[in-house]
Amino acid sequence: MSKTVFMKLTITLIVLFLTPIGAHADIYKFTDEHGVTHFHNIPAIGDTRYKLFKREAKTTVTLRKGNISQFNSANRKRYSPIISTAARNYKVDESLLHAVIMAESGYNPLARSPKGAMGLMQLMPGTAKRYGVTNSQDPSQNIHGGTRYMRDLLKMFDNNLKLAVAAYNSGENAVIKYGNKIPPYNETINYVSKVLGFYQTLQSKKALAAQSTLALAP
């Protein structure tokens, strides 16, 4: 093998194995006339010599029923009017906002994560700045900023709830990086499960309340 071919092979293998294992992207390969094996993670790159080498592993999220009785009922009642207004103004499901707040802060407006996320919807400083939130511990500013962010994520991912919620946790760039799929981070997978579990519980309670109202109607 010539020195040039050996260098090409070495570089190719370095690129392949420096790709994060957690990416779980499909891998395509072909071997050229010099015996050098080339790899790529995009099938349609204009070269029909690439054949599927490794199939993507799927990220699965198992939803679990959310226990909503554990949260501060006084704070939930206190901030519900703000949540309702934000949901109506930005056309985001009110139950989804409650589910995010339950998972993020448990209705504690002074909550702060080790990474610096703050307030009811745990806005990172960059996100707060993007949406004009000057005080993340102010419930109204925080909820309106977080709701606008969720609205934009839902638009970005074609109203795919799982992807929008995943992006709220890990950032939209992480979801895009992994091919518009839930990133294979345990924190994000658990977060999506938790939020959607709360969301389903809230939706079920809302449906039962609506049925009860109809049953009592004359």
| Residues with active-site annotation | 104
Alpha helices in the chain (DSSP H): 3-18, 73-90, 94-104, 125-130, 139-156, 161-170, 172-177, 186-216
C-alpha triplet 42, 45, 49: angle, nearest 5°: 95
Note whether 167 and 155 are within 8 A (CB). no
55-87: b (≥16 Cβ within 10 Å) or e: eeeebebebeebebeebeeebbeebeebbeebb
Residues in the chain: 218
